[in-house]
Amino acid sequence: MSQFIKKNKGPLIVCGIVGGGIGLWVWKTVYPSMRECVYSTFGVNEADGYTVKRIEEAYRKLQESEECHSLLKKHFTESVKDKLKYKKTKLGGTLYDIIRSGVANLDSGVGVYAPDAESYTKFAALFDPIIDDYHGGFGPNAKHPATYFGEDKISELKDLDPEGKYILSTRIRCGRSFKGYPFNPLLSRDDYITMESKVKNVFDGLKGDSELGGTYYPLDGMSKDTQKQLIADHFLFKEGDRFLKEANANHFWPAGRGIFHNAKKATLYTYFFIKKNFFRLFLSGLTRRIIFA
């Protein structure tokens, strides 16, 4: 064997160089077009070719726009694009799902929406610098302080307007999501209906409570008279704006959406709405009971 190699050293080197060149050419030209088939065969969870094409087009649109000054454009560099464009979360979220609203609305301030919880880690190369920039310093290693709701100081909370003469309303926004479900951009109609049913069951369990018990109003099929009354009470709002629409957060409207308020809606009410976050809370008067219930 050694004699053969010595006698044919020159041709073998040439063959090696040619073979390496062919391999490099296949990797650079043929493989990208076959990538989807290759990864599908081996069961790798990757974005399809059409989605990747839309991501490339979106990147060019952002870079060519002189009117766009969003955090998305600032941090969506070519290297970030190439690193993330083929990735997909277990629930199906892609880079295009994240950036689509910011690309359609070039006047966006931020321009991104997470389609599910995993997106924050799967697409961290884009989310981390945007979050850090938005908050003026909250890097990937930063952590929130330990949760403390002041349960041991509830007795110190006093009703600031016990007779209801001065405080018309107080807004406390509490955004929560359902474990095991994606966020709005990826929710199906069945997801909305199932989630609504779960929340309605919780509200039904409050019927015996004189303070928290109330009525749930599904938006789907709501009568005109009820709509007018809730709008007059400033309880009912329209579907999301153009930013949410382009993020697919308005899909299947109004299925699975609704509001709930307690019997004393003039002084205390809760507002339930599946929109970009699944729950919102509005209160007036004494808030202590609803916060710690």
- Tell whether 270 is in a known binding site: no
C-alpha–C-alpha distance, residues 272 and 281, integer Å:
7
C-alpha–C-alpha distance, residues 189 and 248, integer Å:
12
DSSP, collapsed to helix, strand or coil, labels residue 272 as strand
- Tell whether 215 is in a known binding site: no
C-alpha–C-alpha distance, residues 191 and 197, integer Å:
10
CA gyration radius, the chain: 27
Collect contacts of 239-242 with beta carbons under 8 A, ≥24 apart. 239/275, 240/275, 240/276, 242/104, 242/105
Other CB atoms within 10 Å distance of the CB of residue 47: 24
User: What does the angle CA 125 – CA 64 – CA 54 come to, to the nearest 5 degrees?
Assistant: 60
Instruction: Name residue 88's beta-bridge partners.
Output: 94
- Tell whether 173 is in a known binding site: yes
Residue 234 one-letter amino acid:
H
C-alpha–C-alpha distance, residues 183 and 286, integer Å:
32
In the structure encoding, which two tokens stand for residue 209, read together?
A: 């409570």
Q: Are strands 214-218 and 258-262 parallel, antiparallel or unpaired?
A: antiparallel
- Tell whether 171 is in a known binding site: yes
- Tell whether 169 is in a known binding site: yes
| Binding-site residues from annotation for ATP | 169-173, 234
| Binding-site residues from annotation | 169-173, 234
